[in-house]
Structure 1
Amino acid sequence: MTDSGITPIAVVGPTATGKSDLALDLAERLGGEIVNIDAMQLYRGMDVGTAKLPLAQRRGIPHHQLDVLEVTDTASVAAYQAAASADVAAIMARGQVPVIVGGSMMYVQSLLDQWDFPATDPVVRARWEAVLAEQGVAAVHAALHKADPAAAATILPTDGRRMVRALEVVELTGLPFAASAPTIGQPRWGTVIVGVDRETAALDARIEQRTAAMFTGGLVEEVRGLIEHGLREGVTARRAIGYAQVLAYLDNEYDLSHARERTLIGTRRYVRRQRSWFRRDPRVRWVDGAAPDLPATVLALLEAKERTPQ
């Protein structure tokens, strides 16, 4: 709890578990405002493929950190940290409860652990980005494995951008990439962190339904429209799950059914990464997204936290 007597709540966890609905229910009952912590929902126009709640479904509750980037912009954890921190502080200054919701792992950690990011060097960054562009992710992965085997083992070998950042940090600091990660301690603002999950088979079914709904609900048309706004030139937006696969379909790399299947597989893999990441955090109170009256369960956790002497 902060000096204002307000305790923020963060609703995190894997994709498609029901975080958005729970966050809306909590904001209604608490008198709160929502702060998005899904990296791809930062992008204007990326609605269908990110399952972004339409304005009409937001129940009149203010939402922050939605539609703040163009698809040509590069999403930055450090920039998000600064902007979202200001939003949380402003919400509490208004006497409202911040309800932080999303599943982007590093963004959650940056906001709740006040991650102090290492400096960047455009020359070093450009050199490794050139390796990525000219030689591909395999070359960058090999370089990272040589410089920092632990980082190479934990970063997806397809995540070229993060490997470039790791190489930059290792070169600039002389330390392993993990040395720059924050230490898990008391969450910023005394935030209560609630993790939402579901039984694996049930969640797989929900992911399959969501993927099908995206493709029948206009994802291909959305991507076509975003291409006109520079999606292909974007560094991070074009790599989002669903968008990358539709771009490949439009480039005739494979047919639409394969694009849908690759999107489904990519989402399931991402869910496994989210589970692994969030389950390592002992501060997360886990709840079943299928449980009855879930908001009441979470509010009880919040009340228990507020009764605990600080």
Structure 2
Amino acid sequence: MRPIAVVGPTASGKSALGIRLAHKLGGEVVNVDSMQLYKGMDIGTAKLSVAEREGIPHHQLDVWEVTDTASVARYQQDAIADVEAIMARGNVPILVGGSMLYAQSLLDNWAFPPTDPEVRAHFEALLDSIGIEALHQLLAEKDPEAARIIEDQDPRRTVRALEVIELTGKPFQASQPPKDAPPRWNALILGLHTTAEWLNPRIELRTQQMFAQGLVEEVEYLQTQGLVPDSTAGRAIGYAQVFQAMAGELTWEEAVERTITGTRRYVRRQRSWFRRDPRIHWLDAEQDTLTQALALVE
């Protein structure tokens, strides 16, 4: 019943390995992709369809409305409950996804730093005044490590990091648990190692397929459900570029290319984050990952 986590960069094959492990070990999957938490965000997040889940129970999919603001603390509470319920049923939790803070919140005993409405309001006002690029540069001056892992176009997390630094007097990273602490539940953490030469064509193909399969129509439908560009869900890679093309800020060809380059940039951050975790057992994504994984499980 020891949980198994499958982490690593986007498009590396995590979902496929998770399904295969669940079949082999009698497992249930717990999603660790922050954007797959949102209802209706299917094509742009490469969410497995019901058929593709092959009868394996999946948890933490389609649990948030697109109007909801993402909350790692909320996810942590709900996902921990799912994992422990799976273990209570005598099944193996298979934690699958590459969202870095969400993975850490689930695998580590992370008590989130305090919040203060006045301090947050100060940085939100500063954001309105100077813009996200300048605010992110301020974060880089105060805490280069936090700026490196937080997307430079992510106002919410930039504000939150500055708030934590202001309240604690310490770098944002210092609020997170050490990487060498035993993982929660003594989980086995598997990481998919990839090379750029192997992964980049997969990212390009996946992006082109997303647009061909109806990503634009998905965004149009989600607009009727309240999705707007200036929201957590609306700033997701792919969705943000569709909104820009709809507004005439990009051509559709540029939207596809910006989605590809945005995904590659995100992959670089994922690699950097997960490489620093000494608890991860790395698998070669270009080989038979199930065989490699089962060797470690056994």
Indicate whether the TM-score tops 0.5: yes
Q: Percent identity?
A: 60
The answer as to 2:201 corresponding to 1:205 is yes
Q: Which residue is equivalent to 1:74?
A: 69
C-alpha change, 1:93 and 1:169, in structure 2 (3 Å) is: same
Q: Which residue is equivalent to 2:54?
A: 59
Q: Which residue is equivalent to 2:12?
A: 17
Could you say what secondary structure the match of 1:285 adopts? strand
Q: Is the 8 A contact 2:149 2:273 kept in 1?
A: no
Q: Which residue is equivalent to 1:307?
A: none
Could you say what secondary structure the match of 1:11 adopts? strand
C-alpha change, 1:123 and 1:179, in structure 2 (3 Å) is: same
Partner of residue 279 from structure 2, selected from 276, 283, 294: 283
State the one-letter code of the partner of 1:226. Answer: L
Q: Which residue is equivalent to 2:106?
A: 111
Q: Which residue is equivalent to 1:3?
A: none
Q: Is the 8 A contact 2:5 2:96 kept in 1?
A: yes
Cα offset, 1:253, TM superposition: 0.5
Question: What TM-score does the superposition give when structure 1 sets the normalisation length?
Answer: 0.92
Q: Which residue is equivalent to 2:89?
A: 94
- TM alignment of 1:176-255, pairs within 5 A: 176-184=171-179, 185-232=181-228, 235-255=231-251
Partner of residue 122 from structure 2, selected from 124, 127, 145: 127
C-alpha change, 1:196 and 1:151, in structure 2 (3 Å) is: closer
C-alpha change, 1:119 and 1:43, in structure 2 (3 Å) is: same
Question: What TM-score does the superposition give when structure 2 sets the normalisation length?
Answer: 0.95
Cα offset, 1:183, TM superposition: 1.1
Cα offset, 1:145, TM superposition: 4.4
Gaps of 5+ in 1: 1-5, 304-310
Q: Deviations over 1:17-54 (max 9, x none)?
A: 11101000000010010000000000000000000000
C-alpha change, 1:142 and 1:233, in structure 2 (3 Å) is: closer
Gaps of 5+ in 2: none
Alignment RMSD, CA only?
A: 1.5
C-alpha change, 1:282 and 1:147, in structure 2 (3 Å) is: closer
In the TM superposition, structure 1's runs of 4+ consecutive aligned residues that sit over 6 Å from their partners are none
State the one-letter code of the partner of 2:205. Answer: Q
Partner of residue 40 from structure 2, selected from 32, 36, 45: 45
Cα offset, 1:167, TM superposition: 1.2
Q: Is the 8 A contact 1:74 1:234 kept in 2?
A: no
Cα offset, 1:148, TM superposition: 4.0
> Could you tell me how far apart the structure 1 residues matched to 2:140 and 2:271 are?
25
Cα offset, 1:88, TM superposition: 0.4
Q: Is the 8 A contact 1:131 1:139 kept in 2?
A: no
Cα offset, 1:128, TM superposition: 1.4
Could you say what secondary structure the match of 1:235 adopts? coil
Could you say what secondary structure the match of 1:232 adopts? coil
Cα offset, 1:151, TM superposition: 3.5
